[in-house]
């Protein structure tokens, strides 16, 4: 449950970081999932940045019963998003971002709605939840966000390297007026951010990976027209609050 100050911060800034949403033990289970089964069960792709550095990502739209689906369906994320959008939501997509030590690439300034507008969503009523798995710092390329940028409206996006980025001229003008912040995070904390919040991240120049889950949801009032979009506009059945730890217990008992 988010408190009043957290909801206010989100409305004002377009994002809020909530510490210790997941415990150390839960983060360890999620990391084990990334290390042991991600490549075996999900596709891992690469979206190189403008300098050609590798930005690895695995993205899914289902809500199946593996450890990844448990995060997507976790009430601590779902209820937070419902509170912030003040209505029920469905799963759009989730992803694991793998920013590897020394070689992990950057992400250009963009709004998620810059992409999702083209999926025929009429309103920017979509939220992403970034769950830190490693300490996210400036050195390993933590997310940067521009407070208040969710109020700028949708900015045109085009190709920047192999990624889609917001219009560079407009970004330069915005950065002159609106200073960005580094969203440094401890493992288990969650950054809830609005789909029009401008965000980017630098390369990983450190020896420490920067891995994170990002689960994205769309409001039921905003189902795209023309049968486009990601996920299925179906109610998400939340898992039990202790689902991640019970999953790990069952997996251990089965070996």
Q: At its nearest, how many Å lie between ligand AKG and the CB of residue 169?
A: 20
115 token code pair: 């992409």
- Dist CA 223 CA 228 (whole Å): 9
Nearer to ligand AKG, 2 or 132 (CB): 132
Entry field: residues in the chain: 255
| Nearer to ligand AKG among residue 85 and residue 214 (C-beta) | 214
Nearer to ligand AKG, 96 or 243 (CB): 96
The nearer residue to ligand AKG, 63 or 144, going by C-beta atoms, is 144
Q: Where are the alpha helices (DSSP H) in the chain?
A: 4-13, 24-36, 38-41, 67-72, 75-85, 112-116, 168-177, 243-254
Least distance CB 254 / ligand AKG (angstroms): 32
Which is it for the CA torsion 168, 172, 173, 177, positive or negative?
positive
As a whole number of angstroms, the distance between CA 129 and CA 177 comes to 26
Question: Which residue, 69 or 202, is less far from ligand AKG as judged by CB?
Answer: 202
Nearest approach, Cβ of 212 to ligand AKG (angstroms)? 6
114's tokens: 């810059």
Q: Which residue is nearest to ligand AKG (CB)?
A: 201
Which residues, at least 6 apart from 168, have a Cβ–Cβ distance to it below 8 Å?
160
* Shortest distance (Å) from residue 199 CB to ligand AKG: 5
Closer to ligand AKG by CB, 17 or 201: give it. Answer: 201
| Interface with ligand AKG (CB under 6 A) | 97, 107, 112, 143, 199, 201, 212, 214
Dihedrals phi, psi of 80, to nearest 5 degrees: -60, -45
| Burial bucket for residue 170 (CB in 10 Å: 0-12, 13-18, 19+) | middle
CB of 14 to ligand AKG, least distance (A): 13
Contacts of 68 (CB under 8 A, 6+ apart): 33, 38, 41, 42, 60, 94, 96, 213
Closest contact distance (angstroms) between CB of 253 and ligand AKG is 34
């Amino acid at each position: 449950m988010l408190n009043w100050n957290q909801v206010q911060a989100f409305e004002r800034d377009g994002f809020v970081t909530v510490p210790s949403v997941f415990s150390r033990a839960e983060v360890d289970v999620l990391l084990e999932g990334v290390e042991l089964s991600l490549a075996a069960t999900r596709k891992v792709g690469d979206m190189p940045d403008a300098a050609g550095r590798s930005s690895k990502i695995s993205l899914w739209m289902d809500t199946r019963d593996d450890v990844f689906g448990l995060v997507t369906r976790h009430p601590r994320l779902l209820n937070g998003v419902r509170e912030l959008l003040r209505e029920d939501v469905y799963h759009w997509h989730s992803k694991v971002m793998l920013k590897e030590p020394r070689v992990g690439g950057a992400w250009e300034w963009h709004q998620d709605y810059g992409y999702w507008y083209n999926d025929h969503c009429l309103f920017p009523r979509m939220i992403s939840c970034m769950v830190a798995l490693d300490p996210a710092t400036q050195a390993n390329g933590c997310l940067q966000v521009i407070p208040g940028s969710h109020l700028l409206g949708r900015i045109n996006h085009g190709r920047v390297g192999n990624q889609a980025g917001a219009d560079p001229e407009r970004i330069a003008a915005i950065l002159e007026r609106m200073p960005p912040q580094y969203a440094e995070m401890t493992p288990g904390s969650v950054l809830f951010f609005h789909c029009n919040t401008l965000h980017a991240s630098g390369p990983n120049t450190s020896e420490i990976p920067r891995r994170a889950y990002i689960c994205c949801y769309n409001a039921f009032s905003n189902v795209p027209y023309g049968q486009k979009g990601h996920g299925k506009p179906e109610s998400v059945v939340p898992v039990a609050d202790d689902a991640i730890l019970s999953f790990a217990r069952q997996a251990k008992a089965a070996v």
